[in-house]
Structure 1
Amino acid sequence: MEPALDLSRPLIPLGDGAITLGQALAGGGILLALGLLALVIAAMRAANHRAMLLEESRRQTAEAEARMAEILKAQSEMQGRMASMAEIFGSRQAELNQSIHQRFDSMTNRLGQSLTEHQKSTHENLSKLQERLVAIDTAQSNIQQLAGQVVELQSILSNKQTRGAFGQGRMEAIVSDGLPPDAYEFQATLTNGNRPDCIIRMPNGAPGLVIDAKFPLEAWNAIRKAEDPAQATEAARQFRRDMDVHIKAISEKYLIAGETQDTAFLFVPSESIFADIHEHHEGIIQKAHKARVVIVSPSLLMLSIQVVQALLKDARMREQAHLIQAEVLRLMEDVTRLDERVRKLQSHFGQAQKDIDDILVSSSKVTRRGQKIESLEFAAEKTTEAPAADKPADKSAESKTGQLRLRVVDPEEE
């Protein structure tokens, strides 16, 4: 047989005393009871917590369902709005597409018109450019021809004989254009055997005017072609010497007393040369004046020719003065005869006017007589409307009618 369990036996020493087995078993039971109680409480708490969680879950589920319903409702509303917006966007897109197509068509038309106008303008500009190019080509060919002519003129002026022919030609053109053929002569021979380029016959038996056209152009060209001041000075000195010799030759050869004028003309075929001589070579002008030689340019020669032409015209008028006087006398006779005929015509017009006035007087008298006859007829109609029983009234009316008739018969009493 097993020994009995001793509950008083010390189990765990504690200080001065010890925990017995009974105390340990009692404490363990209590602890176990407390543990079970704690477990029950924990289970209850867990059940409550689960119930709360379930309730919370249900509540959240309901809220979620409500929210889901709201979301579905909002989604349906959103779908409706999206459908309406899609419809609006579709119509707007159709309108936008139509507007874009219209604008694109308009821009295409404008671009086509612009391209057409630009093409037309370009074609016109090209045509004008072609015309201008043709004109430029023509001008270039003319310039080339002119350059050739200038070269030819330079070659002509480089030769003394051809240069003299050039000056002679210009002088002859000016003289022949301004004077009649009998007023001048080219290359005429003087009594001393010399032959000036031109002699102008002055009116009234006056001596002729000599014109020389041989201007020394070599020295002048040398001045223009000088490359340094020394060459220019030497060329100017040579030009003055040539001019002095030529002026002296004109004075000695062409100034003949009684046959030519006391002054001769030296023709310079260029206005620029004439101006440069007067500006830079005053000594040549003074020597020419002393030698009774006048240097003239084309414009001065034309002015001198016009003066000579006026003198010739005045001389011819003086020569024909008696003829002019006779013509004036005949003209006065014609004027006198015309005056007499005008006076006769005026008298005829006066007589015709008098006859017209008499006719107007007669027509006025006829008009007055017609008016009196018309008033008489009206008076007769009034008398016929009077009553037949009134005999004295009839007699008075008859007497008045007789008086009126007498007045009509004798209208001169008026």
Structure 2
Amino acid sequence: MSDFLFILTIFSIALAGIAVSIFYTKRETKRMKEEGEEGIIFKLLKQDLKEIRDEIQETRERNIETLQNQLKESSKIIAAITEKLTQIGETNKQVISFAEGLQSLENILRNPKQRGVFGEYYLEELLKNVFSPAQYQMQYAFKDGQIVDAVIFSKDGLIPIDSKFSLENYNRIVQEKDPAKRNIFEKNFKQDLKNRIDETAKYIRPYENTVPFAFMYVPTEAVYYDLLVNEIGTLKSNTRDLLEYAREKRVLIVSPNTFFAYLQAVLQGFRAFQIQESIKETIKNIETLGRHIESYDEYMKKLGTHLSTVVNTYNLAYKELNKIDKDVVKIADRPKSIEPLQLEKPSLD
């Protein structure tokens, strides 16, 4: 029994030792296994971290390059914008200058007296571009002291040109929105034009060597256009159309563009007149040459008459000489030695 207990004790101790050994072995194996997995994970993590770091570095470099390119493009855009702003600034200055010029022109056109000076100035510039100074005159005075803005000297007489025009009522027509008031301003403007036609017609003076018509110069195309195309020209003035009224008064209403065409026509008339004058001068010279030829013909006829007399005298003298020769032949009993030479008289035909 004691041996059995001893053996059982020894077996129990052995089993305990084996169990302890197995426990430690498993724990060590587990530890080593865990340490191996952690190493692999660490290596994987380390590799992933390196890849992430490399990717971050690459992304950073790309971002830096992209940012630099964007900065360059932004600099170009800023430079272009600055240049455009500079150009806009210059354009703005020009616009301001132009606006000031328009304001100045508007101020001129608001003042009737200054507007008249402006119209005369523009008219004179047109005349300068077409005619020589000897072919026209500004501010021409008639015998009664009336002064027309300009005249053109033509072969048919003086061509009067009046450049006065009215804008007050016209501007009111353009700006007014109320139909009733607009109708009043249209009637007033229509009356202004009729008065201008009457005033221009006063310069038609054939007894002072003017042609039987006159130009009414309207320096603004807008007024001229409204007069011809829009309703202003078709409204009745004393039951007659304004344009028809102007024709009856022998007044030609012209604008800067149409007046130039009229001037070209007048210029062609001047050229035709110059050609006609040149032809007259040529005919006069031919007539003078004809008279000289007639005088020369008279002298030639007289010379022919004198030559005929000389030839006749010559022939008579030869006849007398022939008679003397015959007498000599009879006396001297020798052959005839002189043969008379007869000349023909020059023809006077």
Cα distance in 2 for partners of 1:117, 1:253 equals 72
Deviations 1:41-82 (A, max 9, x none): xxxxxxxxxx9xx99xx9999789768745643542442343
1:261 and 2:211 matched: yes
Residue 153 of structure 2 is aligned with which of 186, 192, 201?
Answer: 201
Q: 1:288 to 1:61 in 2, by over 3 A?
A: farther
**Quick check: 1:266–1:296 contact (8 Å CA) kept in 2?**
yes
**Quick check: 2:108–2:118 contact (8 Å CA) kept in 1?**
no
**Quick check: 1:208–1:259 contact (8 Å CA) kept in 2?**
yes
Partner of 2:46: 90
Partner of 1:22: none
Q: 1:320 to 1:142 in 2, by over 3 A?
A: same
Pairing 1:62-101 to 2, within 5 Å after superposition: 69=25, 72-73=28-29, 75-101=31-57
Residue 123 of structure 2 is aligned with which of 164, 171, 175?
Answer: 171
Q: Structure 1 residue 293: deviation in Å?
A: 0.8
1:246 and 2:196 matched: yes
Cα distance in 2 for partners of 1:222, 1:83 equals 99
Q: 1:102 to 1:216 in 2, by over 3 A?
A: closer
**Quick check: 2:204–2:210 contact (8 Å CA) kept in 1?**
yes
**Quick check: 1:196–1:254 contact (8 Å CA) kept in 2?**
no
Q: 1:185 to 1:144 in 2, by over 3 A?
A: closer
Q: 1:136 to 1:95 in 2, by over 3 A?
A: same
Residue 139 of structure 2 is aligned with which of 183, 187, 190?
Answer: 187
Q: Structure 1 residue 300: deviation in Å?
A: 0.6
1:131 and 2:86 matched: yes
Structure showing greater relative contact order (alpha-carbon pairs closer than 8 Å, 6 or more residues apart) = 2
Q: Structure 1 residue 186: deviation in Å?
A: 1.7
Q: Structure 1 residue 197: deviation in Å?
A: 1.6
Q: Which amino acid aligns with 2:64?
A: T
Pairing 1:334-373 to 2, within 5 Å after superposition: none
Q: Structure 1 residue 189: deviation in Å?
A: 3.2
Pairing 1:225-244 to 2, within 5 Å after superposition: 226=176, 228-244=178-194
Q: Which secondary structure does the structure 1 equivalent of 2:160 belong to?
A: strand
Q: Structure 1 residue 258: deviation in Å?
A: 7.9
Deviations 1:142-188 (A, max 9, x none): 2552354145324xx433x3332222111111111112222212222
Q: Which amino acid aligns with 1:164?
A: G
Higher Cα Rg, which structure: 1
Pairing 1:376-391 to 2, within 5 Å after superposition: none
Aligned length: 265
Worse overlay, 278-287 or 86-95: 86-95
Deviations 1:353-376 (A, max 9, x none): xxxxxxxxxxxxxxxxxxxxxxxx
Percent of pairs identical after alignment? 18
Q: Structure 1 residue 227: deviation in Å?
A: 6.3
Deviations 1:349-401 (A, max 9, x none): xxxxxxxxxxxxxxxxxxxxxxxxxxxxxxxxxxxxxxxxxxxxxxxxxxxxx
Q: Which amino acid aligns with 1:82?
A: E
Q: Structure 1 residue 225: deviation in Å?
A: 5.5
Deviations 1:232-265 (A, max 9, x none): 3333333333333332333243242682222211
Q: Which secondary structure does the structure 2 equivalent of 1:208 belong to?
A: strand
1:146 and 2:101 matched: yes
Deviations 1:296-348 (A, max 9, x none): 11111011112222332343345456999xxxxxxxxxxxxxxxxxxxxxxxx
1:287 and 2:222 matched: no
**Quick check: 2:214–2:250 contact (8 Å CA) kept in 1?**
yes
Cα distance in 1 for partners of 2:280, 2:247 equals 41
Cα distance in 2 for partners of 1:253, 1:269 equals 19
CA RMSD of aligned residues (A): 3.7
TM normalised by structure 2 equals 0.62
Partner of 1:115: 71
Q: 1:143 to 1:196 in 2, by over 3 A?
A: closer
Specify every segment of 5 or more residues in structure 1 that has no aligned partner in the other structure, as ranges.
Answer: 1-50, 325-414
Specify every segment of 5 or more residues in structure 2 that has no aligned partner in the other structure, as ranges.
Answer: 1-7, 235-240, 283-349
Q: 1:140 to 1:169 in 2, by over 3 A?
A: closer
Q: Which secondary structure does the structure 1 equivalent of 2:148 belong to?
A: coil
Worse overlay, 107-116 or 220-229: 220-229
Deviations 1:182-240 (A, max 9, x none): 221222234565332221122xx322322111223344345445564443333333333
Cα distance in 1 for partners of 2:175, 2:71 equals 59
Partner of 2:111: 158
Q: 1:133 to 1:304 in 2, by over 3 A?
A: closer
Q: Which amino acid aligns with 2:183?
A: T
Cα distance in 1 for partners of 2:87, 2:93 equals 9
Residue 272 of structure 1 is aligned with which of 211, 222, 225?
Answer: 222
Q: Which amino acid aligns with 1:163?
A: R
